[in-house]
Structure 1
Amino acid sequence: MPTPEEALKFYFGYDAFRPGQREIVEAAIAQRDQLVIMPTGGGKSICYQLPALLMDGVTIVVSPLIALMQDQVQALQDNGIGAAFLNSSLGPTELRSTEQAVLAGQIKLLYVAPERLMGDRFLPFLERIDAEVGIAAFAIDEAHCLSEWGHDFRPEYRQLKTLRQRYPAVPMTALTATATHRVQEDIVAQLALRDPRIHIASFNRTNLYYEVRPKQRDVYRHLLQLIRQAPGAGIVYCLSRKKVDELAFRLQQDGIEALPYHAGLEDETRAANQTRFIRDDVRVMVATVAFGMGINKPDVRFVIHYDLPRSLENYYQEAGRAGRDGDPAKCTLFFGYGDLNTVEFLIAQKVDPTTGAPLEDEQRIARQQLRRVVDYAEGTECRRKIQLAYFGESFAGQCGNCDNCLHPRPVEDWTIDAQKLLSCIARCKERFGMNHIIDVLRGSRSPKVLQHGHDQLSTYGIGKDRSAEAWKHLGRSLLHQGLMDETTDGYSIPKLNAQSWEVMRGQRTVMIALPARSLDEPAPVGDRFLKQTGPKADSLFERLRQLRKRLADAQNVPPYVVFSDVSLRQMAEKQPHTLREFARISGVGSRKLEQYGETFVTEIRDFCTENDIPLRSPSLGTIPSNSDDDSFDPTLAYAKPPRDRSESRSALRLKSVSRTVFYTLELHQQGLSPAEIAEKRGCGIHTIYNHLDKLLEAGQAVDLGKLVEGDRQAKIERAIEAVGTASLKAIYEHIQNTLGETIDYDSIRLVRAKWRHTNRPDS
């Protein structure tokens, strides 16, 4: 069996695991139950996909949304991995075909929604899988849906606990991006995980820039400015369907390619809008939170919350849909107190569906969660420090990648006031909320203060010199700095901790950032959070993105299924001109090397030729742009023997043509068109044209007349005589300028290849 690292490179093209992944994979192979908490973009899918490929049997993956499982399966299939899904989108014929493939052992990962998994029809099929093929493991994705304390509870997930009863020997891995300690305990209990290995990765998304901006009357103008300045695709979240439709329309009127997404749209419209966004047909999606877990798009460069999110966990999840590929991205929250009324209205809708009675416990918890969002928005400490503390993770602050760290407000020593506040909490026996504590400090004669005799406390009235808002600001700061705790049962009762007593004993100084004195916006972040590569690399990156888009459209898949932006950026920076060099790019596994390698290498070499960029070989130094130093056969996955330098150029070109290219020649000679060859071979048509280009330049029996009409050949040849063969772009533009015609690059490339072979001295 290959090592985990070898399998990682072969299937997924990555040279090394991210922190924690290898240990999770090893534990899965050892058939141990696990709970994996890893933030969005941290590589959760590898943690169950790779073990599935190294174990006997089928791994059953529970996934909550059709779009999510379809994206996962597309990406796996594009890597040459046997994967399938069973959901309501399949017709009877497709359903039977998929089931047969599973029972035939052709599928290693089978994605199923929880409702279907526990349905009367599927459970007998699951028994057949276990008996005939074997169930390697269960992977429960988005496992926070199990818990009523999670941000997206789904009752159907609760039924999954019967899997342990039915298949006690099958290991189970639960995975989620976020889970508080309470949710973690709930997941373990609901799935009956046995002595699970628990992996909690850091929730710190270092590539994300966080900022809060005031929501003023001209907020739309600032939104439009943000979108126009930002690179790439983005999501704008709103609380209501009406606001989504209004914003999407206004952005369209202002020249932004934007579409709406909310539950009020027709299913077909909603699905079509999501598909267009994922496939880069539009740039911006304006959405309610209905646009959630089904988004598997890794190259979202910005997320803007136009309205207030309902909880800090929701905000972390929604903002976390930016920068899943690890590249820099920006998360902006517009905060205005007017949004509080909207969220309070939504909370009031939490009622018993049978009786209509308010669900008071749920409403109380929701209001506490809303207060935490307000605390975050009004906070003056490092945004990351506040977020990570919510999940129980300590962070020193000063991240250098949020508005509060980059644009710090003046700080003052508030130690004496902190001692007053904490002492008052202690004298009130840690049983009352912050508003009551502030009433005591400011000497209020409210009935509640008098009822409990708190007007007799030594701390009564000692805080009259500060406003109620100032005391609230101090309380938030103490909480964010870890100098005070509070209950999480919905009542938000402040509690003292060890650090609180250090403050009261004078052993710790409390420095507080002053709240904003105006609603002026912080200075824009600028480009320092964007990848800087240089003009040539940026131009090549955009060209490779266009190539990726064409290939993706031809295969009817999202562009990121072909390659991620991270991989394209590496290609643009390193400019590999041989398959061997291309194989070293992150994200290039064996299947992608065979499927796309020649297409992308050709595009890179053409770009370098057109822009007078010398191609360099690690062993040969600078080489001519028309040289073919590609002796790497992706179908064999190893280099061919060294060349005999005494051989002719034509012989060398013939030896450099790989088996996969000769298969294209065989199909061409059988009379198939390039499109038919591409369909038969399951690859893009541009790959086939690149094969034909290589064959023609190597002098093979390609019938050029069947590919390019005679009169077009003659026009291209005349252009080559005029401008030479170095630049496809120069040939293209010469034909356009002198004849007023447009001839496609593929035809020009084929005629140029024939010309080069015919006009060489050794031909």
Structure 2
Amino acid sequence: MTSTSTAAFPSLEAALKHFFGYDQFRLQQRAAIEAVLNQQDALVVMPTGGGKSLCYQLPALLRLGVTIVVSPLIALMQDQVEALNNNGIAATFLNSSLDLMEARSREYDLLQGRTKLLYVAPERLLSENFWPFLTRLQQQVGLAGFAIDEAHCVSEWGHDFRPEYRQLHRLRSAFAGIPMLALTATATERVRQDIVQQLQLQKPEVLVASFNRPNLYYEVRPKDRQTYGHLLQQVQSINGAGIIYCLSRKRVDEIALRLQNDGIAALPYHAGLPDLTRAENQRRFIRDDVRVMVATIAFGMGINKPDVRFVVHYDLPRTLESYYQESGRAGRDGEPAHCTVYFGYADVSTVNYLIDQKPDEREQNIARQQLRQVIDYAESTVCRRQIQLGYFGEFLSESCDRCDNCRFPKPKQDWTIEAQKFLSCVARCRERFGMTHIIDVLRGSGKKRIRDLQHDQLSTYGIGKDRTAEEWKILGRSLLHQGLLEETVDGFPVLKLNAASWQVLRKQLTVEVAMPEGLQGVATGTTSATEDGLLARLKALRKRLADAQGVPPYVVFTETTLRQMAQRLPQSLDAFARISGVGSRKLEQYGQTFVEEITAFCGEQGITATATPPPPLQTGDTHAITRQLYQQGHSPDQIAELRDLRRSTIIRHLSDLIEADDGVELDDLVSPERQQTIWAALEEVGGDRLGEIRDRLGDGYSYDEIRLVRGYYHRAKLES
């Protein structure tokens, strides 16, 4: 490919379908692409699996010149180049894995305008030997732009700071006028400001997509002597690839060996292994030769595998940000995935030891505050997704129903009076102290520091003696997680009141708190045996094709695309082309092979007619849009994200559609066993008093389930 322009396509969506096979953009992708095409600097923050790469890959194909992509890891750039080449897109990389002859050949192709994207590490990009080539490339072919991937590495406040990234600001002075796009999956407001400043972005378009990953289920389990047995059971029960993170190399080797002895195809990955062994283990995992990778955090950004079905932290994560990043390696294809933390206090001592090895006291203070945030997350009884999103400054207004605390909620109590005491004490202490000091004042501590500060003279001194320190700590955490209180994050956590705090103090808001209880497991959804059978065959076909080409299976097609094939059964090339993820190149390369496999399967199963593709999306009827997205295989959470609506709104749509018998199957959304129990409660109480029905069923049943079953209940009553 030499050059392309937007004029070659009637719309950006047409270009998206042609090159990548997708029909529509995800949230913020279009805005980012338009900014790049308008030669504007931009900072894009999208969660893992949110489609960051497309934000620079598509503009690179629509503009003259070469786009330079700065990537920190060899494995990551190689994976992306493989995927692009397989899609018929001219991309290449220059790194230390190439010999001199191969590097010169690639440089020649670049200078001849045969390549559209060049991936390089920051060290090579900024080296004196590479600079003349870059200048020549600009003069001879032109530079379309710079894309700085994993841009959080620029900031010392990010979870993976790399000093060499600090030098990338030199691009701005040397190549003035060339637009720069910075991209990262995780960045707090402070990190975003630092990225803009360090890279010297000029009036950038800052696009922050939601950090919410609705397809991920989060849970915390207690860590005890039976933990390995629980882990083994979990690995055996989940069908698909997984990553298990451990804090030490010794633990990685131990868990990997035990899994192997128990019949699980698992491999270790850590910095103590030879480079060739690490690379080979990673390659085998990415290409589905083994199912499980047991790793330290060294196994991180280089993983470009979209179909990871579970991520387990066998040991405690170091920070909430690193946990979000590491757990986010699950479910990048948008399919359901499971994220588990095993929490034990022995791990806290291990992490504290690692913190003590840091040479700078300020770094130690920050790290300890970050560790406390992780412990708060593990011990919390509120929605885990709310805690994660709150860390990044995003507010989730309702429970997620996709974590253990929401699925199995603990009984809540009205703690409004206690909350008023707590917040009043923060105010009396002039918002200058942390949680431990506030609790000491409330409980009437005789500590010398309390007396020296004369806080034993405050009206709030001793008014909380009737509650334990642990109960006050749980309340304090809950206030923070619910957005009713704030805390500084510079290593010296100080509690601060906000507008919501004053609403509680003025009795305008009530506060409910749940006390911790034992943790439970999670139910999983089901699919039809026919669909599962075809999906297994399509995966096997994908693996054979990938092995023949020497590429990871997801480069051929993602699991999401295979699942659509299994659901819609395309038995012609026209029908196959309408599958999301099938572009013109892949249609030509794989279409006939997959259509023949699907046709053969349908013949064996006695399925004679090709499944009807969903009709074009209509914009006039909101229920029809929800129905069509549901029929395309999207979950309620995914539909809510795609439509930018509340999940509760989508549930109401689905309930109405079930009641109208309009294309939605209740069995897909609520298991038959739970339907029977809810039905019995509806018969006993009646269909209109949801609160009373929920009380009768107990906390194990959600309002969403009741609404969905009620839709079918109303339909049955009308028909009878």
TM-score of the alignment, normalized to the shorter chain, above 0.5: yes
Aligned partners of 2:38 and 2:92: how far apart in 1?
Answer: 25
Aligned partners of 2:432 and 2:487: how far apart in 1?
Answer: 11
1:480 alignment partner in structure 2: 481
Aligned partners of 1:371 and 1:266: how far apart in 2?
Answer: 34
2:14 alignment partner in structure 1: 6
Counterpart of 1:105, as a letter, is: G
1:318 alignment partner in structure 2: 326
Query: How do 1:750-761 residues align onto structure 2 when only pairs under 5 Å count?
Result: none
1:404 alignment partner in structure 2: 405
1:239 alignment partner in structure 2: 247
Deviations 1:680-707 (A, max 9, x none): xxxxxxxxxxxxxxxxxxxxxxxxxxxx
Aligned partners of 1:618 and 1:291: how far apart in 2?
Answer: 43
Q: Is 1:279–2:279 an aligned residue pair?
A: no
Counterpart of 1:394, as a letter, is: F
Deviations 1:475-515 (A, max 9, x none): 00000000000001111111111111111122211111112
Deviations 1:417-455 (A, max 9, x none): 111111111111111111111111111111111111111
Comparing 419-428 with 70-79, which one deviates more in the overlay? 419-428
Aligned partners of 1:209 and 1:421: how far apart in 2?
Answer: 32
Query: Conserved in 2, the CA contact under 8 Å of 1:83 and 1:110?
Result: yes
2:219 alignment partner in structure 1: 211
Q: Is 1:128–2:136 an aligned residue pair?
A: yes
2:552 alignment partner in structure 1: 558
Query: How do 1:278-677 residues align onto structure 2 when only pairs under 5 Å count?
Result: 278-351=286-359, 359-516=360-517, 520-522=518-520, 524-528=521-525, 532-616=526-610
Quote the offset at 1:610 in angstroms: 2.2
Structure 1 counterpart of 2:76, from 68, 72, 81:
68
Counterpart of 1:263, as a letter, is: A
Aligned partners of 2:443 and 2:567: how far apart in 1?
Answer: 62
Query: Conserved in 1, the CA contact under 8 Å of 2:568 and 2:612?
Result: no
Q: Secondary structure at 1:543's aligned position in 2?
A: helix
Quote the offset at 1:96 in angstroms: 0.6
Q: Secondary structure at 2:43's aligned position in 1?
A: strand
The Cα RMSD (Å) is 1.1
Residues 413 and 572 (structure 1), Cα distance of their counterparts in 2 relative to 1, 3 Å cut:
same
Aligned partners of 1:211 and 1:547: how far apart in 2?
Answer: 34
Q: Is 1:142–2:150 an aligned residue pair?
A: yes
2:126 alignment partner in structure 1: 118
Q: Secondary structure at 2:310's aligned position in 1?
A: strand
Query: Conserved in 2, the CA contact under 8 Å of 1:384 and 1:397?
Result: no
Aligned length: 605
Counterpart of 1:527, as a letter, is: T
Quote the offset at 1:618 in angstroms: 6.3
Q: Secondary structure at 1:263's aligned position in 2?
A: coil
Aligned partners of 2:155 and 2:325: how far apart in 1?
Answer: 16
Quote the offset at 1:533 in angstroms: 3.5
Aligned partners of 1:350 and 1:101: how far apart in 2?
Answer: 46
Deviations 1:358-391 (A, max 9, x none): x011111000000110111111111111110000
Query: How do 1:739-750 residues align onto structure 2 when only pairs under 5 Å count?
Result: none
2:4 alignment partner in structure 1: none
1:654 alignment partner in structure 2: none
Quote the offset at 1:570 in angstroms: 1.0
Query: Conserved in 1, the CA contact under 8 Å of 2:243 and 2:292?
Result: yes
Query: Conserved in 1, the CA contact under 8 Å of 2:404 and 2:519?
Result: no
2:169 alignment partner in structure 1: 161
Counterpart of 2:545, as a letter, is: L
> TM-score, normalized by length of structure 2?
0.83
Residue identity over aligned pairs, in percent, reads 66
Aligned partners of 1:463 and 1:20: how far apart in 2?
Answer: 48
Query: Conserved in 2, the CA contact under 8 Å of 1:36 and 1:176?
Result: yes
1:42 alignment partner in structure 2: 50
Aligned partners of 2:436 and 2:105: how far apart in 1?
Answer: 63
Quote the offset at 1:617 in angstroms: 7.8
Aligned partners of 2:210 and 2:312: how far apart in 1?
Answer: 23
Q: Secondary structure at 1:443's aligned position in 2?
A: coil
Counterpart of 2:342, as a letter, is: F
Quote the offset at 1:612 in angstroms: 2.1
Query: Conserved in 1, the CA contact under 8 Å of 2:154 and 2:165?
Result: yes
Aligned partners of 1:618 and 1:462: how far apart in 2?
Answer: 68
Counterpart of 1:512, as a letter, is: V
Aligned partners of 1:481 and 1:612: how far apart in 2?
Answer: 54
Aligned partners of 2:75 and 2:476: how far apart in 1?
Answer: 43
Aligned partners of 1:239 and 1:411: how far apart in 2?
Answer: 35
Deviations 1:97-135 (A, max 9, x none): 100010010110000000000011111110011000000
Counterpart of 1:63, as a letter, is: S
Counterpart of 2:200, as a letter, is: A
Deviations 1:523-568 (A, max 9, x none): x21222xxx4411111111001001001101111000000000111
Aligned partners of 2:442 and 2:298: how far apart in 1?
Answer: 44
Comparing 161-170 with 495-504, which one deviates more in the overlay? 495-504
Q: Is 1:171–2:179 an aligned residue pair?
A: yes
1:636 alignment partner in structure 2: none
Counterpart of 1:526, as a letter, is: A
Aligned partners of 1:85 and 1:462: how far apart in 2?
Answer: 65
Query: Conserved in 1, the CA contact under 8 Å of 2:220 and 2:343?
Result: yes
Q: Secondary structure at 1:44's aligned position in 2?
A: coil
Query: Conserved in 2, the CA contact under 8 Å of 1:86 and 1:110?
Result: yes
Higher relative contact order (CA 8 A, sep 6+): 2
Aligned partners of 2:538 and 2:48: how far apart in 1?
Answer: 26
> TM-score, normalized by length of structure 1?
0.78
Q: Secondary structure at 2:76's aligned position in 1?
A: helix
Query: Conserved in 1, the CA contact under 8 Å of 2:569 and 2:610?
Result: no
Aligned partners of 1:179 and 1:109: how far apart in 2?
Answer: 25
Comparing 18-27 with 474-483, which one deviates more in the overlay? 18-27
Query: Conserved in 1, the CA contact under 8 Å of 2:246 and 2:294?
Result: yes
Q: Secondary structure at 1:74's aligned position in 2?
A: helix
Counterpart of 2:408, as a letter, is: H
Q: Secondary structure at 1:59's aligned position in 2?
A: strand
Q: Secondary structure at 2:77's aligned position in 1?
A: helix
Counterpart of 1:380, as a letter, is: T
Query: Conserved in 2, the CA contact under 8 Å of 1:533 and 1:573?
Result: no
Aligned partners of 1:282 and 1:557: how far apart in 2?
Answer: 15
The unaligned stretches of length 5 or more in structure 2 are 1-6, 614-720
Query: Conserved in 1, the CA contact under 8 Å of 2:568 and 2:611?
Result: no
2:628 alignment partner in structure 1: none
1:743 alignment partner in structure 2: none
Aligned partners of 1:270 and 1:444: how far apart in 2?
Answer: 54
Query: Conserved in 1, the CA contact under 8 Å of 2:569 and 2:611?
Result: no
Q: Which has the larger radius of gyration?
A: 1
Quote the offset at 1:521 in angstroms: 3.4
Quote the offset at 1:260 in angstroms: 0.5
The unaligned stretches of length 5 or more in structure 1 are 352-358, 620-763
Structure 2 counterpart of 1:93, from 93, 96, 101:
101
Deviations 1:708-738 (A, max 9, x none): xxxxxxxxxxxxxxxxxxxxxxxxxxxxxxx
